[in-house]
Structure formats: C-alpha cells, structure tokens
Structure 1
Amino acid sequence: MGQYRNKQDTNSKSSSITEEMLKSQSAGRNMLNKVPVIITIYFWIIKIMATTVGETAADFLNDKFNLGLTITTLIMGALLLITLAFQFKATKYVPSLYWLTVVLISVVGTLGSDNLVDNLGVPLVTTTIIFSIAVLISFAFWYASEKTLSIHSIHSTKREVFYWVAILFTFALGTAAGDLIAEGLNIGYLNSAIMFAVLIGLVVIAYYRFKMNAVLAFWIAYVLTRPFGASLGDYLSQSHHAGGLGLGTMGTSLIFLITILGLVIYLTKTKIDNPVQTEG
C-alpha cells in the first residue's frame, strides 16, 4: 500500500508539473502573439482607414513633393523596414506599433503596384493577376510550413514573417484590383467602393449565416477591404471633375490618420483586442 501511495504521489506530482509546464508554454505563446487576438469592429475600421491612407498618402508624397514614384517608394520602404525591425523585436502586441506597420505596409503595397503600372507600363489586368498569384503563393508556403493560416497563433518569428509578407501582397493586390475596377473598367470610384462593400457584406453573411470557415472569411475580407478603402480614398480625395468629392489627398489623409490615432489610443487603453495581456 505504501508503495502504491508513493507511486500515486509521484504520478500526481508529475501530472502537476506537466500541467504547469503547459500553462507556462501557453502564457509564453500569448505574450509573443504580436497581432490582435480578437478581431473587433475597430480592427476593420482602422484597417479600411489604413488602406485609404495608403492610397492617398502615396499619391500625396508622389505628387505634392514631386519626389517621383521611385524615390517615394525607397523612402517609404526604408521607413517600413525600420518599423518592422521594432515590430519583430517587440515581445508582445503593441497597438501603436502594429498599426503603424499596417499603415506603412499599405503605402508600400500601393507604391509597388503603382510602380509596375506607371513606371514599367504593366497593364492593370496583369498586375492584378501577378499579385493574386503572389498572395496564393505566400499562403501556400505559410500553410505548408505551419499547417495553419490563423492570425490567432502568430507566436513565432517565422509565422510573423509569413503574416507580414501575406499582408503586403494583399495590399498590393487590393490596389491593383481597385484601380482595375475603378479606372481600367471606368466604373468610377463611388460605384467601385459600393461594389466592394457589397462583396464584404456577402462574406459577413456567409460567415455568420452559413458558417463559412473563419480563417477563409477573414482573409477574403482582408483582401476586399483594400480595394474598398482605395476606392473610398480616391472618391474622397479626387476632384469633382474626376468623379470625387475634392477633399484632396492631404485633407483625406489627415482626417483618416487622426481617426486612426484616436482608435489606436482607445485600443491601447482598453486592450479589448488583446485581453490576455490585460491579465498579465
């Protein structure tokens, strides 16, 4: 009986140690998850506004300062790399750093698409196809390596690299597709924004009503919000003659950047998109 009790005590201790190790590993992973854990309405509002800023800010820097696409791309690319270095160095989700990275990657993605079209003369149809393939390839490599495309488990450097590469290509794809629909097919900025808004609405219905796969729904919506934001940004910033409201690229960028800043401050204080860190 004594030996049996000793074995029970040993097994109980081993079980407790194992549980503690698992809890510790889980806590470590949560701390390293450097993207929003819970996707709230604020996530989508900021994301759409970031895409709009990406469109208008790229146009503003290129046109108003007469830097040209190449120099503007190099400057914004350098800023993105510096910001990414801080993002990778961080040990937890920091809203201000994360969304600054998203805004900059939106600008660089827009400039990448514009360079192909304006500097190299690549047709919008071709750039849309190129970036569609790039998005699919990035997802294929990500899934082959990690067996998941979920944004809720970005707890390693490798996964974070896959995450940001995929996001860069989705922004570039959204820019190319948005320009193709609005300008290439002459549908117009407002009509394009309405069309993409309807498509996003269909994804929402498919997710909530027909139980569409959450990861698939997220990434489809993520891609679609880019051309929606781009079309919206163009509609607000372009002149009345061009079919817009004439707010200008600077005015539109400032309005959206101030809104983004306010929402990021709110998320930083409430931590509603990463409640795990609230407990830590």
Structure 2
Amino acid sequence: MTGGSGTRNRVPEPTASFWLIKVLTTGMGEALSDFLVTRFDPAPTVLVTASVFAVVLVAQLRAGRYRPWLYWGAVSMVGVFGTMVADVTHVALGVPYAVSTPVFLAALVAVFVLWRRVEGAVDVHTITSTRRQLFYWAAVIATFAMGTAAGDLAASTFHLGYLGGGLVFVAAMVVVVLARLTAMLGPVTAFWAAYVLTRPVGASFADYVAVPPARGGLDVGTGLVSAVLVIAIAFTVALQQKVRQIPATGTASSVR
C-alpha cells in the first residue's frame, strides 16, 4: 500500500521558475518569522504558525495533483515554521548552531535513507502517493531547518556576516550546478543539494537587507522585506500558473 492512489505527480518539475520561487520563499520565511516573533509573544506565535502549517500541509497531502497555489503555500509555511524551529532550538534551548546544523543534517539523511528503503527512490518526479508526499515533505522540512541553522552558523559562528555567508552559499550552488552539468552529480543528488543550499542563500540575503547596520545589514526592516517577497512570490506563482495553462488552452482551441 502506497498511502494513496493516482499517478499524477503532486509536486512541480524543478524548472527555472521553481528555483526562483523557492529562493523567494526561503527569504520570505526568514524575514516573516523574525518579524512575527519580535512583534508578538513567541510561544503563541509559534503555535499559531504550526497550526496554519498543519492545515495547509494536510490540504496539500489530500491534493491528487500539483496545484501551484497550494504547493507554494505549503512551502512558504515551511519557510516560516522551519525558521522558527531552528531559532527556538538555538535561542530558547541554547543549542549552538555548530551542534544543531549537523543534527538537522543527520535528520535529513535519516529521512532519505528511510525514504529510499521504503519506496526505492527519492526522485521528485515520482511523488504520486500520499506516503511519498509524507517522505517528500519530511525532507523539505529538514532541509529548511538545516539550511536555517547553516546560514546562521556561517553568519554568526564563523563571523562571515549575512552578505558574506550568502555569497559563500551562492558559490556552493554554482559548484553544484557545474557538477550536474559535467555529470559529476546525478539529477537526484544535485536536486536535493541545491534544495538545501537555496535555504541559506535566500535567508542570508533577506537578513542582510532587513537587519540594522549594527548586525551588518541595510536596515530595511523584516516587515517590509516580508511584504515585498510575499508579493513577488504571488506574482511569480500566478505567472507560472498562466504559462502552464497556455498549452491546454491552445489544444482546446485547435480541437474546436
């Protein structure tokens, strides 16, 4: 039993627009999380965020096919909630980033090992059942938590700052792309490596723009950065959905 029926893939193809929206969601998640926990009582804020995330994720799991608004809504909530989880681990529990980063990495590896053992592959082109979606989203949540911790590790513990840390992760992304183009990395490994790295890339640059100069930033503010990124995500998803509908419209016209 696979936990669901149907053969349609329930997550998007990793196209250029996919990676653009992914980076936007990582930056938005970082900025909005920081905005919420600094403006409101952290405990109920995290609880409400977790509840909203759970509702959106359940809706995504029940979907029989890829629905752009639902999928990216779930990813956006992972971005916000994943940031809160990583921050609570460090701030509230006092766990150093040098410890939380490898712990989250170990959790991610465990998800991949179990996923491959149960399903035979971790390919995002075969997310056609509820059980595979559960593995997929477990991996996504782990990548966001680990990426958040890794970004803060580079910026704070290694004293690279948000801009310097962001550039380091961009360079790592370039290495992954080149390794994929030269066939040094397979498509599945390259995808998940890039998926992990986009988290600290987006989050580092969002922090750099949002935080005050005393923390090495431009002081634009987490609220404004969050709002701009939400609008950018909505615009890009709407554009992506419109592009996806063009072939179907053309086919219908030719039939008539």
When normalised by structure 2's length, the TM-score is 0.92
Number of paired residues? 247
Matched, 1:55 2:39: no
Structure 2 residue identity aligned to 1:48: V
CA distance in 2, matches of 1:136, 1:223: 12
Give the alignment partner of residue 117 of structure 1, picking from 70, 73, 90.
Answer: 90
Structure 2 residue identity aligned to 1:29: T
| 2:3 alignment counterpart | none
CA distance in 2, matches of 1:131, 1:252: 27
| 2:11 alignment counterpart | 35
Matched, 1:141 2:131: no
| Matched-pair contact (CA < 8 Å) for 2:62–2:130 | no
| 1:131 alignment counterpart | 104
| 2:41 alignment counterpart | 67
Give runs of aligned pairs for residues 218-229 of structure 1, distance below 5 A: 218-229=191-202
| 2:19 alignment counterpart | 44
Give runs of aligned pairs for residues 1-280 of structure 1, distance below 5 A: 28-30=6-8, 33-36=9-12, 38-64=13-39, 66-68=40-42, 70-271=43-244
Structure 1 residue identity aligned to 2:41: L
The ranges of structure 1 where at least 4 consecutive aligned residues each deviate by more than 6 angstroms after the TM superposition are: none
CA distance in 2, matches of 1:158, 1:210: 30
Q: Where in structure 2 are there 5+ consecutive unaligned residues?
A: 1-5
CA distance in 2, matches of 1:182, 1:279: 50
Aligned-pair distance for 1:210?
3.2
| Matched-pair contact (CA < 8 Å) for 2:119–2:132 | yes
Aligned-pair distance for 1:211?
4.6
Q: Secondary structure at the match of 2:166?
A: helix
CA distance in 2, matches of 1:133, 1:264: 32
Over aligned residue pairs, what C-alpha RMSD do you find? 1.9
CA distance in 2, matches of 1:227, 1:265: 25
CA distance in 1, matches of 2:112, 2:251: 32
Aligned-pair distance for 1:241?
2.3
Q: Where in structure 1 are there 5+ consecutive unaligned residues?
A: 1-27
Deviations 1:186-217 (A, max 9, x none): 11110111110000011000101235200000
CA distance in 2, matches of 1:128, 1:34: 29
Percent identity over the alignment is 38
CA distance in 1, matches of 2:32, 2:222: 7
CA distance in 1, matches of 2:214, 2:93: 27
CA distance in 1, matches of 2:102, 2:176: 22
| Matched-pair contact (CA < 8 Å) for 2:36–2:45 | yes
Structure 1 residue identity aligned to 2:64: T
CA distance in 1, matches of 2:128, 2:61: 11
Aligned-pair distance for 1:34?
1.1
Aligned-pair distance for 1:72?
1.9
When normalised by structure 1's length, the TM-score is 0.84
| Matched-pair contact (CA < 8 Å) for 2:162–2:208 | yes
Structure 2 residue identity aligned to 1:63: T
Aligned-pair distance for 1:71?
2.0
CA distance in 1, matches of 2:211, 2:95: 23
